[in-house]
Chains A and B, each alone.
Chain A
Amino acid sequence: MAMDRREFLKIAGLTAFLGIGGKAGLELLAPGDVEAAVKNAPLTAGKKWGMAVDVQLLDEAVMDKCVEACHTHNNVPDVGNPKEELKWIWKETYDHSFPGQENEYLAGRYKQKNFLLLCNHCTNPPCCRACPTKATWKREDGIVMMDMHRCIGCRFCMAACPYGARSFNWGDPRKAPKELNPNYPTNPEFPTRNKGVVEKCTFCAERLAKGQYPACVEAGNKAKPGVLVFGDLDDPKSEVRLVLGKRYSIRRKPELGTGPNIYYMI
């Protein structure tokens, strides 16, 4: 960049004066980067995305809405065969969701209830350590992201994930039964996957970049406001931290040390 000493000092002085040193100062030196402007939007500046699920508000209808919204947005087909099921967000019973925390006398309202499960976007994700090609990795904002271009389909990550949050494409998703997926692909703005790659929830990273909530959060809260609270767990003033500060919550298999970031408020 062509800039003489005098000009540099002027900008540096001004930056210090305005108290916007560090990264903001650097951006002043390299103006025109739209990323800087977009990153200021509240939803694109997180450090540790997480979610709190209000179990008391959660019912079958809401869960179905969330699952449908997610699968519609992300072009996740219903392959018909439960052994080859593609799961980004799904329903599961208490003893399957929280194994080790069940007991004989558990209140019926939990025993018979389904829970909404998705990728926990762990703080210490075992899937990322298992991946030999770095096709899955932990982003700086906490999302455990998946690069379908790089996935070789070895399925080590599926073996590593203790939550069953990863699914393998045993066949071409576009060849999924038409009668189960009449309008597939449902979202023309989002790609499908191809045969032989692993896929999972991405917290709708492309929606977050636009300042929108993940599809499940949007649909869930439309049906029942407050059922899914999404936000930055690193920010003590965020909505998700405020609700977690008030309610008792549990996580799935925290004893494994993966640091799951989906909280279930009982």
Chain B
Amino acid sequence: MYDGGKIITGLVIGVGLLLFPVVYNAGKAAKAPEPVLTEKAKAAQQCVESTAFMKTEHMKLLDEWRQQVVREDERYYKSPSGKLHYKGLQTTCMECHSNKSKFCDECHNYMGVDPYCWECHIAPKENQ
């Protein structure tokens, strides 16, 4: 092999550079944030659907709600428990989950998603 030393050195440097981020961040995985519930949300015990459903499907539910409210004027949602809820992110959801920065943003930041709801919908005032 001609210039073997140079090639191997180059390879080592190249592979090293490639692996650097993996090695540098090893064992430092950011912990998935747990959404914090407000006292009001805790007292209510049950959201409009089960916690598991809300965790995975809240974005679809909100999308359905906005379609139904804005386009079909259907403004009430019947949860499985039979309770009626006014469909509204800004009113119904944030009335309990008034801690947007802890309840919504932490997880959204962790997942790298940036929902544009708050460009128009007004976020609740937080004390912190």
Contact = CB atoms under 8 A, between A and B. Distances in A.
A193 B76 contact: no
Given A145-B70, A209-B73, A193 B90 contact: no
Interface string A167-206: 0000010000000000001001111111000000000011
A191 B88 CA distance: 10
**What is the predominant secondary structure among interface residues of chain A facing chain B?**
loop
A148 B76 contact: no
B71 A147 contact: yes
Contacts of B71: 137, 145, 147
Interface stretch (B1-9, B10-18, B28-36, B118-126): B118-126
B59 interface: no
A190 B75 CA distance: 14
Given A34-B84, A191-B90, A147 B121 contact: no
Interface in A184-236: 185, 188-194, 205-206, 209
Interface residues of B, number: 17
A191 B76 contact: no
B39 interface: no
A152 B76 CA distance: 28
A35 B82 CA distance: 14
Contacts of A139: 73
A264 B73 CA distance: 29
A190 B120 CA distance: 9
A57 interface: no
Contact of B74 (A35, A145, A148): A35
Contact of B122 (A32, A33, A147, A188): A188
B30 to A, nearest CB: 30
B51 interface: no
A149 B121 contact: no
A159 interface: no
Contacts of B66: 149
Contacts of B90: 188-191
Interface string B85-118: 0000011000000000000000000000000100
24 contacts: A32-B82, A33-B78, A34-B76, A34-B84, A35-B75, A38-B75, A38-B76, A137-B71, A139-B73, A145-B70, A145-B71, A147-B70, A148-B120, A188-B122, A189-B90, A189-B91, A191-B120, A191-B122, A192-B120, A194-B116, A194-B119, A194-B120, A206-B75, A209-B73
Interface of B: 66, 70-71, 73-76, 78, 82, 84, 90-91, 116, 119-122
